[in-house]
Structure 1
Amino acid sequence: MTKLAEATALLAALLIGAATERVAAAEPSAIVVDLENPLANPQPLQGYLRQTDSPGPSPAVVLLHSCNGNWLRLDERWGKRIAAWGYVTLSVDSFGPRGLKNTCDSNGPVDLGLDAYRALKYLVRQPFVDPARVTALGFSQGGWLALVSVERGIIEQTSQTKFRSAIAFYPPCRAFRGDMTVPTLVLVGELDDWTPAEECRSMVDGRDDWGTSRQKGQGIPTRLVVYPGAYHAFDAQGLKTPMQLLGHHLEFNQAATDRSIDAVHQFLDATIGGKVQAQ
């Protein structure tokens, strides 16, 4: 077995685990749903849905996994927690329908960039979801998808429905100028050597990796939080024993995780939570 294969297998064991065990551990309110009609789409997406006990339409969060998949693990780590705060959550499986295991050592399919809006389209049709209060929340590659979904550009402009806000955990910030159309929160570790914090600082300041700057007054300011001493995937408890993947350091950090939980909770409450937001 090659070193890459060994690393991938170890990562799967640490972060993914057995799917049957994850399903068994899930609460009854969490169900797998088809986001699209299989007859209308050759690769229909699925998601793990958690509803609230609110009598009226609730705000919702679309969760987008990283390059190693683990959408059910993402539901356990974040979907369950966010649902307990009073939000509908939908953890999207972007890989299963495409026959992918991971894309950590390669670029994902181009149409991956549309998955957040495919999930949003599903949610806004549900009577228990407030279509005006939905946030995109992604991790690493999923964080990139969240940013793409709210950046001023063709993907955001062509969608009839819009996200109200976005959150990106340790996303690759290169090529973004921070020209976001909604309030956005970026969380990254200071020691992240896969998606460096410095690139996210440049994005927030309005500079991309080509040296192009955002025009003054354009876009909605993005809030960046950098956690000292934290590496990539700092919120993954399966990484309490640090590991190397494709030459990058991955390690769980309890302090950064706790602070990120508070940051996410406060941001959601401020942008889509509580009473119906002004239009």
Structure 2
Amino acid sequence: MKPSAAAILVTALSIASAIECAAAPSESAAFVVELENPLASKQPLQGYLRQTYRAGPSPAVVLLHGCNGNWRRLDERWGKRIASWGYVTLTVDSFGPRGIDNTCTSGAPVDLAFDAYRALNFLVELPSVDPARVAVLGFSQGGWLALTSVERGIVERVSRNKFRAAIAFYPPCLGFKDNMTVTTLILIGELDDWTSAMECRNMVDGRDDWGISRQKGEGIPITLVVYPGAYHGFDVPALRTPIQYFGHHLEFNQPATDRSIDTLREFLHATVGGEERAKEETK
């Protein structure tokens, strides 16, 4: 029997990881991987994969970028950090295979809604990943896609593999009409003038500006954290000097970033668990 593509990939990554671990054991290496066979898909996705250095299957996190792409920077900013907590991370490039540079004014193509699950389907085939403990994490437009992935609806329903948890940094919160199927966390700045904190409050309360309301108490609750004084992109160090981007204020905020790091780590620990949780469960 011929080895599967995933098995070959994992063997190669294991060798590379061992070399990297010897050189810098405190930092995981990122590998560009193809998530699908190019012969089986017209637009096969790619992404940055970071493995853990612990034995046995690990929890994992799929990361989804915003409307300006920059998946490599997202991996550097968050993929590397989350991997250091004991998670396999996969930062998806949704634009490259589609020949897209930016969707900040045009809106996301409809088929992007399935990218999170395409990444999940890749991860669950890896021996290094526990398929029952994978979270999806998105930023801005990617946050909206993360929420779409776990909202009770057609995208979640037709996917054979399921996420265990979802996190969205400053997502657009309008348009969600159904309940979330997993524990969900939203982090947003109070002064965000691109994706409104008030719209996210309405969503969490089961209502929106269109007057549609879900039954309060139904479904799995959403946790919303709003950071005072923070704008869109509050976690991006490159925005230490504020900018106007497509008419919106973007600015880095160190206190909000620090708090979001702690909140995200605690949330992942509680929902899918990293190294600390694995140690607790074996006691």
Asked whether the two chains share a fold, i.e. TM above 0.5, the reply is yes
Structure 2 distance, partners of 1:209, 1:160, is 33
CA offset digits 1:18-37 (Å, max 9, x no partner): xxxxxxxxx67210000000
Structure 2 distance, partners of 1:86, 1:243, is 34
Q: Which amino acid aligns with 1:107?
A: G
> Hey, what does 2:166 align to over in structure 1?
166
> Hey, what does 2:8 align to over in structure 1?
none
* Deviation of 1:106 (Å): 1.0
* Deviation of 1:209 (Å): 3.1
* Deviation of 1:165 (Å): 0.2
| 2:199 alignment partner, SS class | helix
Q: Retained in 2: the 8 A contact 1:178–1:222?
A: no
- Of the candidates 258, 261, 278, which is equivalent to residue 275 of structure 1? 278
Q: Determine whether 1:112 maps to 2:134.
A: no
> Hey, what does 1:203 align to over in structure 2?
203
Superposition pairs for residues 1-279 of structure 1, below 5 Å? 29-177=29-177, 179-273=179-273, 274-275=277-278
Provide TM-score, normalisation by structure 2: 0.87
* 4+ residue runs over 3 A deviation: 275-278
Aligned length: 252
* Deviation of 1:178 (Å): 6.1
* Deviation of 1:275 (Å): 3.4
Cα distance change, pair 128–46 in 1 and its aligned pair in 2 (3 A): same
* Deviation of 1:215 (Å): 1.8
Larger displacement relative to structure 2 (45-54 or 204-213): 204-213
| 1:275 alignment partner, SS class | helix
CA offset digits 1:175-207 (Å, max 9, x no partner): 124610000000000000000100000000001
Structure 2 distance, partners of 1:268, 1:57, is 16
CA offset digits 1:205-256 (Å, max 9, x no partner): 0013321111243210000000000000000000000000111100000000
Q: Which runs of 5+ in 1 are unaligned?
A: 1-26
Q: Which amino acid aligns with 2:99?
A: G
Structure 2 distance, partners of 1:237, 1:147, is 25
Q: Retained in 2: the 8 A contact 1:177–1:204?
A: no
Cα distance change, pair 144–138 in 1 and its aligned pair in 2 (3 A): same
Structure 2 distance, partners of 1:244, 1:193, is 11
Provide TM-score, normalisation by structure 1: 0.88
Structure 1 distance, partners of 2:108, 2:137, is 18
Structure 2 distance, partners of 1:161, 1:61, is 14
Structure 2 distance, partners of 1:74, 1:53, is 21
Superposed CA RMSD: 1.5
* Deviation of 1:57 (Å): 0.2
CA offset digits 1:45-102 (Å, max 9, x no partner): 0010000011100000000000000001000000000000000000000000000011
Q: Retained in 1: the 8 A contact 2:144–2:171?
A: yes
| 1:111 alignment partner, SS class | helix
Q: Which amino acid aligns with 1:54?
A: R
Percent identity (aligned): 73
Q: Which amino acid aligns with 1:68?
A: N
Q: Which runs of 5+ in 2 are unaligned?
A: 1-26
